[in-house]
Amino acid sequence: MVFAAGLGARMRPITEATPKPLVSVAGRTLIDRALDEFEKAGVERAIVNVHHLADQIETHLATRARPRVVISDERRLLLDQGGGIKKALPLIGNDPFFVCNTDAFWIDAARSNVLALADAFDPEMMDAALVYRRGPHEAAALRRRRG
């Protein structure tokens, strides 16, 4: 599931006319970056929720062949992340699934974070697995503590 319904408030005024998932970074939209990673990992179907400037997102996604995109429409009421997942569960089914914000991506990562997450997930031992990256300040503090 790719979260694309938000208002993009922190990116105003850009997001007044362009939804945040369609903002380009280094020539590619944020949503395409997320969906491209899922495609590389072999994900066949992605649920994308829409609300703010939803028509633009749907038009953009109509050109994608893989992964196949299924829209979860939140035009009438923005549900936030938990509500968005709950609404999309009938589309997702009972199998484990990825959740992705479009503004969280790595450029030129040594290994796909999507594949690393899938490899780390053990449904017998856990309900969820998260990807976390230390920022430069945290990494420096950890090095100082280790001596």
Cα–Cα dist 74/60, whole Å: 17
pLDDT given at position 65:
92
- The residue among 113, 142, 111, 108 whose CA lies nearest residue 130 is 113
Cα–Cα dist 48/20, whole Å: 13
Higher local confidence (pLDDT), 50 or 136: 50
pLDDT-based confidence at residue 112 (cuts at 50, 70, 90)? confident
From the DSSP assignment, how many helices (H) and strands (E) are in the chain?
5, 6
- The answer to whether residue 129 scores a pLDDT higher than 70 is yes
Higher local confidence (pLDDT), 8 or 103: 8
Query: If you search the block for the tokens 């790595």, which residue do you land on?
Result: 106
65-74, 83-92, 136-145: least confidently modelled range: 136-145
Q: Say whether pTM exceeds 0.85.
A: no
Architecture (CATH level 2) of domain 2-110 = Alpha-Beta Complex (3.90)
What's the rounded mean pLDDT across residues 112-121? 84
What's the rounded mean pLDDT across residues 72-98? 90
pLDDT given at position 58:
97
Mean pLDDT of the chain: 86
pLDDT given at position 76:
92
- The pLDDT tens digits for 61-75 are 999 999 999 999 999
